Amino acid sequence: MAWQTFPMANSPTGESVISRVVRLMAAFDRQVPSMSLSELSQRAGLPMTTAHRLVEEMLKHGLMERDADGQLRVGVRLWELAARGSQALSLREIALPYMEDVQAAVHQYTTLAVLDHGSVLYLERLSAPDSAAKRALDAAHIAQRAPLHATSSGLVLLAYSPTWLQQEVLAAPLEKVTEETITDPPTIRRHLAEIRQRGYAALPGIAVKGWTGIAVPVFSSGNTIAAALNATVPSGETNVPFTVPALLTAAHGISRALGAGAPSGPRRR
């Protein structure tokens, strides 16, 4: 999780090129997808000259691009490289049709997320047709992260993770995202047990006030947890019992497609 933040400024020397490049790329996000060189150098904490040289090189390889205004953006080539190799993305590709099935049955936000480096990482999201939800649930964007303890997906992922990981997560300070966010480790443990027993999580308001996250586990070969499939519905309505079977069905389909069920998955490659 070390690279999650921009900890130190530029060390005058003693830092690898790779970490500088990562800092440059991490300077971009959904809010600020393009910027000038000087802004980039500031946000990345690199001297102008260094930023200039590295950016120039990255442009040459398509890792960055200039848009019409000459502003810098992350290049498609980078996405191409990342998407071609990543297993998470092939998971997404397999899951997508099943997600559409869910979407067709329950007309709500549907997301697919994995556990990576101690947080929830959203791989895919299908949006509800109605736009009220659109505003409220803007948190769960694709390629966005969220804390494990404050999302239904996170709790499901945690519930089926090895004990050492659970302990590690619960030992760290837990942020209160909303009023309802559960931050008490023993209570969370109880919830995790309940999730494992029931096979799904349904928790009102822990991530977004007024909305209930419902999530179920997706397993891969070896029956290890691979992802969480989630739908988010307005709290208070009685659609939780309606949504859960839809998610379970889809999740089961995805798990089967991933080769779950076999006692220990076949070695890939």
Partner DNA sequence: CCCGCTTTTCCGATGATCGGAAAGCCGATA
Partner DNA sequence: TATCGGCTTTCCGATCATCGGAAAAGCGGG
Q: Report the site for a second copy in 21-60 (rule: CB under 8 A).
A: 21-22, 25-26, 28-30, 32-34, 54, 57-58, 60
According to DSSP, residue 267 is labeled: P
Q: Which helix (H) or strand (E) covers residue 112, if one does?
A: strand 109-116
How far apart CA 168 and CA 232 sit, in angstroms, is 27
**CB 268, min distance to DNA, A:** 15
Stretch that binds a second copy, among 125-133, 163-171, 180-188, 211-219 (CB under 8 A): 125-133
Q: Least distance from C-beta 223 to a second copy, angstroms?
A: 13
Structural tokens at position 8: 């130190």
**Using rule CB under 7 A, residue 18 touches DNA:** yes
Residue 265 is classified by DSSP as P
The pattern of x and - marking residues 224 through 263 that bind a second copy according to CB under 8 A reads ----------------------------------------
| Residue 36 near DNA by CB under 7 A | yes
Three-state secondary structure call for residue 119: strand
Surface-to-core class of residue 197, CB atoms within 10 Å of its CB (0-12 exposed, 13-18 middle, 19+ buried): exposed
Radius of gyration of the chain (CA): 20
> Site map for DNA, 64-83, x if CB under 7 A?
------x-------------
CB distance 156 to 202 below 8 Å: no
Size of the site for DNA (CB under 7 A): 23
- Single out the residue of 49, 1, 58, 62 nearest to residue 24, CA to CA: 58
Q: Phi-psi category of 117—alpha, beta or left, where left has phi over 0 and alpha has psi -120 to 50?
A: left
Q: Pick the binder of DNA from 20, 125, 149, 191 (CB under 7 A).
A: 20
Tell me which of a second copy, DNA, none is bound by residue 59, counting a contact when its beta carbon lies within the kind-specific cut-off of 5 to 8 angstroms: none
Q: Which residues on neighbouring strands pair with residue 136, listed in sequence order? A: none
Asked whether position 13 contacts DNA by CB under 7 A, the answer is yes
Residues 130-169 vs a second copy: string with x where CB under 8 A? Answer: ------------xxxx------------------------
**Contact residues for DNA (CB under 7 A)?**
10-18, 20, 36-39, 46-50, 52-54, 70
